[in-house]
């Protein structure tokens, strides 16, 4: 019996609060609706722009990581092929 009274009190309090909030809130006009819609659209477009930029940066990092892990050790021949070595440059001890 005590549980039923608590549930009744809880549900009536919730319903009363909901009804009071509905009555206090202003009724939206079409201008308010348009301004809210515009704000939501700008927020969504900003989110989509940030999301696409993040995806682009992530794909660039992914490509760089794949390239670095594919060739982790540099090719020494390719790195030294432009060096010229004459006998005059050699130092003999």
Domain definitions of the chain by residue range: 33-72
The CA distance from 22 to 20, in Å, is 5
Is the pTM value of this prediction over 0.75? no
The CA distance from 65 to 63, in Å, is 5
User: Helix (H) and strand (E) counts for the chain?
Assistant: 3, 0
Contacts of 28 by beta carbon, 8 Å cutoff, 6+ apart: 36
| pLDDT exceeds cutoff 70 at 91 | no
Residue showing tokens 């050790």? 73
Q: Supply the pLDDT for residue 93.
A: 55
Q: Supply the pLDDT for residue 40.
A: 87
Secondary-structure breakdown of the chain: helix, strand, coil percentages, each rounded to the nearest 5 = 75, 0, 25
Q: Supply the pLDDT for residue 72.
A: 64
pLDDT tens-digit series, residues 8-58: 788 888 888 887 777 777 666 777 778 888 988 999 899 999 998 999 999
Note the maximum CA span of the chain.
Answer: 107
| pLDDT exceeds cutoff 80 at 85 | no
């Amino acid at each position: 019996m005590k549980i039923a009274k608590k549930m009744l009190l809880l549900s009536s309090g919730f319903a009363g609060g909901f009804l009071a909030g509905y009555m206090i809130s202003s009724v939206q006009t079409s201008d308010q609706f348009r301004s809210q819609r515009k704000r939501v659209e700008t927020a969504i477009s900003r989110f989509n722009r940030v999301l696409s930029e993040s995806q682009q940066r992530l794909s660039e990092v992914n490509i760089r990581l794949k390239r670095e892990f594919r060739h982790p050790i540099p090719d020494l021949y390719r790195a030294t092929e432009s060096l010229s070595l004459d006998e005059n440059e050699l130092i003999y001890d």
